[in-house]
């Protein structure tokens, strides 16, 4: 039932000011279980500029005055109209379309319908009213002029994530009323997410005859009940249509009337107008927090439960050990989030079981559709639509694979208002680890001209050095979770190994006319730098070394011959 709050007509005499202040009659119904959050009864003779602006998306026109609305107040109603001589609001982007609108916000880049790369006039940001979730209601009488054109009540995301339209994901649109002049016996509803990856990725359109009445001759109420997982539309308090998904961010409101838009070119009947009696928004008293749920298997009556020690999701028949979950709507899909850890159930690693981990909400592997079967739910993965959550093999944890729809072990029910079972307190320990590792020594080779070619001599053997590493290791429930280097030092320097080797023998030329290059006995055979060439004046023939056989034979034989002559002469004298 609805009760009514009556703000009676009251005369207040303000003696200090010496004048009378009168409050107008006001009747605002209460909605059971809700509180009034915003309203405008349009009872005055001017627009409440703390709630509305009368410029329509002025950032998308080079001349914002073309976007200023035509309207009047009449019998406690706001009457918006299109005049015959009215100019198109944005000839640059929207052709001949004419519009008279009021909006509860003004912000650059909102509703980039033409995919423009730049705004046409810079606007100061202002918000009179924007909200997420609630019951919205408008009472109105539609235009009766026929021809092309339509009246509209619609809501748009205010891009509270970024002012950059092309990067924003909060751009959804809900067209609560988009009824054409030419089809006044229907109610047309639409939605589109624009850049929103979850809500209404394709245009949703619904248009059906109204249940009763004449929308052009009578006032009727149009309601939107916006909750986290659905949009419900009401005609005179009766449910008319439902969209089973919803945006989850603040939206602003636009009320307007058009000609020459998608509803067709207007006829010659002017003015084209509709009248709005009031606009109200209510909020649930208990708010819109998603309930905590226990998830229970149909076959075993076991609950979902997690353990911080690993990435599996266990099942338990002990209700004190179950953990609570939230099903977060994301378009037609849901994220299954643990209320204690914030982790999502997913199949990101393509393991044969369901994991719990932190992932972006846009990950398809963490999104699940809810398939209703016989009063229970099957969780079907968005990324791999054949994969469902089940316990077919009774392994003690949630499995992820293909499963027949009628299998009870793949069917679940959910219970609200559950308390989180305390997660086991992890046991954290630390210890120091000391490891040593050898440091290789270097081999230093030096040429020795006195050593024969190919011979090597170790003058000093090499010795490896020693490196000592000290690390602090943290264990959580016996599993290493962190490792920090405390010190890394060289505790013994390596000692180089010294080696001498014989170089290649020098080549002696027998050509007297050929210049010879002296051998540098100190040069290493591995030294790539050639020895310096001596000047022409200093070049001399290299003499044979003492001890070479073919050099000492001639002088020795001459000496023996002379000695023989002396001995012969001595004998003759005797």
Supply the CATH number for residue 496's domain. 2.20.230.10
Look over the chain and give the mean of its residue pLDDT values, rounded to a whole number: 86
Residues 127, 50, single domain; the answer is yes
**Coil, strand, or helix at residue 192?**
strand
pLDDT interval class at 571 (50, 70, 90): low
Q: Quick check: 263 pLDDT over 50? A: yes
Residue 518 falls within a domain, yes or no? no
Report angle CA 476, 477, 482 to the nearest 5 degrees.
Answer: 20
Q: Quick check: 389 pLDDT over 90? A: yes
Residue 516 falls within a domain, yes or no? no
Q: Quick check: 15 pLDDT over 50? A: no
Residue 25 falls within a domain, yes or no? no
Per-residue pLDDT tens over the stretch 34-93: 999 999 999 999 999 999 999 999 999 999 999 999 999 999 999 999 999 999 999 999
Q: Quick check: 94 pLDDT over 80? A: yes
Residues 492, 473, single domain; the answer is yes
Domain end point (choices 370, 389, 416): 416
Residues 170, 227, single domain; the answer is yes
pLDDT interval class at 24 (50, 70, 90): very low
Q: Quick check: 167 pLDDT over 90? A: yes
- Of 390, 392, 375, 312, which Cα lies nearest the Cα of 345? 312
Per-residue pLDDT tens over the stretch 326-343: 999 999 999 999 999 999
Q: pTM for this structure?
A: 0.68
Q: For residue 111, what are the contacts with CB-CB under 8 A and spacing of at least 6?
A: 57, 60, 156, 171, 173
Question: What is the torsional sign of CA 293, 297, 298, 301?
Answer: negative
- Give me the pLDDT at residue 484, please: 92
Supply the CATH number for residue 313's domain. 2.80.10.50
Extract the runs of DSSP E, i.e. beta strands, from 426-554: 428-439, 443-447, 456-460, 465-476, 479-492, 497-501
Q: Percent of the chain at pLDDT above 70?
A: 82
Residue 514 falls within a domain, yes or no? no
Residue 467 falls within a domain, yes or no? yes
Residues 380, 466, single domain; the answer is no
Per-residue pLDDT tens over the stretch 475-518: 987 888 899 999 999 999 999 999 999 987 544 444 444 444 44
Structure tokens given for 108: 């650059």
- Give me the pLDDT at residue 193, please: 97
Per-residue pLDDT tens over the stretch 106-120: 999 999 999 999 999
CB-CB contact of 29 with 273 (8 Å): no
Q: Quick check: 2 pLDDT over 50? A: no
Residue 467's H or E segment, with its range, is strand 465-476
Residues 159, 164: Cα–Cα separation, whole Å: 8
Domain end point (choices 264, 284, 304): 284
Domain end point (choices 416, 436, 460): 416
Per DSSP, helices labelled H in 364-500 are none
pLDDT interval class at 27 (50, 70, 90): confident
Residue 565 falls within a domain, yes or no? no
Residues 367, 459, single domain; the answer is no
Domain that holds residue 409: 293-416
Residues 102, 233, single domain; the answer is yes
Residues 539, 198: Cα–Cα separation, whole Å: 92
In the DSSP assignment, the letter for residue 327 is E
Per-residue pLDDT tens over the stretch 286-307: 999 999 999 999 999 999 999 8
Q: Quick check: 547 pLDDT over 50? A: no
- Give me the pLDDT at residue 282, please: 98
Residue 421 falls within a domain, yes or no? no
User: Residues 385-406: what's their mean pLDDT?
Assistant: 96
Q: Which residue has the tokens 């023939």?
A: 541
Residues 49, 77, single domain; the answer is yes
Per-residue pLDDT tens over the stretch 214-260: 999 999 999 999 999 999 999 999 999 999 999 999 999 999 999 99
- Give me the pLDDT at residue 337, please: 96
Supply the CATH number for residue 82's domain. 2.60.120.200
Residue 121 falls within a domain, yes or no? yes
Q: For residue 528, what are the contacts with CB-CB under 8 A and spacing of at least 6?
A: none
Residues 231, 150, single domain; the answer is yes
Per-residue pLDDT tens over the stretch 425-444: 778 999 999 999 999 999 99
Residues 248, 122, single domain; the answer is yes
Residue 399 half-sphere exposure, CB side, CA atoms within 13 Å? Answer: 14
- Per-residue CA distances from 68 to 54, 90, 175 (Å): 6, 11, 21
pLDDT interval class at 12 (50, 70, 90): very low
Residues 389, 441, single domain; the answer is no
Residues 308, 325, single domain; the answer is yes
Per-residue pLDDT tens over the stretch 452-483: 998 999 999 999 999 999 999 999 878 888 99
CB-CB contact of 99 with 86 (8 Å): no
Residues 175, 273, single domain; the answer is yes
In the chain, the number of structural domains is 3
Q: Quick check: 560 pLDDT over 80? A: no
- Of 2, 21, 254, 298, which Cα lies nearest the Cα of 136? 254
pLDDT interval class at 558 (50, 70, 90): low
User: Residues 348-359: what's their mean pLDDT?
Assistant: 96
């Amino acid at each position: 039932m609805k009760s009514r709050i009556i703000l009676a007509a009251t005369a207040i005499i303000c003696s200090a000011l010496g004048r009378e202040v009168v409050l107008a009659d006001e009747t605002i119904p209460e909605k059971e279980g809700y509180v009034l959050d915003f309203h405008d009864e349009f009872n005055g003779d001017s627009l409440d500029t703390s709630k509305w602006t009368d410029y329509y998306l002025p950032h998308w026109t080079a001349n914002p005055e073309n976007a200023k609305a035509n309207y009047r107040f009449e019998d406690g109603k706001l009457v918006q109209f299109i005049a015959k001589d009215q100019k198109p609001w944005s000839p640059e982007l929207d052709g001949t379309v004419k519009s008279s609108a009021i909006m509860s916000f003004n912000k650059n880049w909102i509703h980039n319908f033409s995919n423009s790369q730049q705004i046409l006039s810079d606007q100061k940001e202002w918000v009179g009213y924007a909200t997420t979730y609630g019951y919205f209601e408008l009472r109105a009488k539609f235009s009766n002029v026929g021809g092309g054109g339509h009246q509209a009540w619609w809501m748009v995301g205010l891009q509270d994530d970024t002012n950059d339209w092309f990067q924003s994901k909060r751009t959804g649109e809900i067209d609560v009323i988009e009824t054409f002049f030419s089809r006044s016996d229907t109610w047309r509803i639409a939605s589109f997410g624009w850049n929103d990856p979850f809500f209404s990725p394709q245009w949703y359109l619904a248009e059906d005859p109204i249940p009763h009445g004449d929308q052009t001759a009578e006032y009727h109420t149009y309601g939107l009940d916006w909750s986290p997982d659905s949009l419900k539309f009401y005609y005179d308090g009766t449910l008319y249509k439902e969209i089973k998904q919803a945006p989850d961010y603040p939206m602003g409101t636009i009320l307007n009337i058009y000609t020459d838009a998608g509803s067709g070119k207007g006829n010659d009947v002017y003015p084209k107008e509709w009248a709005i009696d009031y606009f109200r928004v209510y909020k649930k008293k208990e708010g819109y927090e998603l309930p905590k749920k226990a998830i229970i298997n149909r076959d075993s009556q076991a609950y979902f439960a997690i353990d911080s020690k690993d990435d599996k999701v266990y099942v338990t028949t002990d209700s004190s050990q179950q953990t609570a979950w939230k099903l977060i709507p994301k378009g037609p899909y849901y994220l299954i989030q643990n209320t204690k850890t914030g982790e999502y159930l997913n199949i990101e690693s393509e393991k044969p079981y369901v994991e719990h981990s932190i992932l972006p909400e846009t990950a398809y592997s963490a999104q699940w559709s809810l398939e209703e079967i016989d009063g229970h739910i099957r969780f079907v993965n968005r990324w791999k639509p054949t994969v469902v959550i089940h316990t077919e093999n009774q392994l003690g944890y949630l499995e992820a694979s293909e499963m027949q729809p009628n299998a009870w072990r793949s069917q679940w029910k959910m219970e609200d208002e559950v308390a989180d079972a305390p997660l086991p307190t992890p046991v954290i320990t630390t210890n120091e680890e000391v490891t040593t590792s050898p440091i290789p020594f270097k081999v230093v080779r030096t040429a020795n001209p006195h050593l024969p070619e190919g011979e090597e001599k170790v003058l000093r053997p090499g010795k490896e050095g020693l490196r000592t590493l000290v690390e602090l290791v943290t264990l959580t429930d016996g599993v290493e979770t962190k490792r920090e280097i405390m010190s890394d030092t060289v505790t013994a320097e390596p000692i180089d190994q010294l080696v001498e080797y014989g170089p290649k023998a020098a080549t002696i030329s027998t050509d007297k006319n050929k210049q010879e290059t002296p051998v540098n006995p100190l040069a290493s055979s591995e030294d790539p730098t050639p020895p310096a060439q001596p000047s022409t004046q200093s070049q001399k023939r290299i003499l044979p070394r003492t001890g070479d056989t073919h050099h000492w034979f001639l002088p020795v034989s001459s000496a023996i011959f002379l000695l023989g002559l002396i001995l012969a002469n001595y004998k003759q004298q005797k």
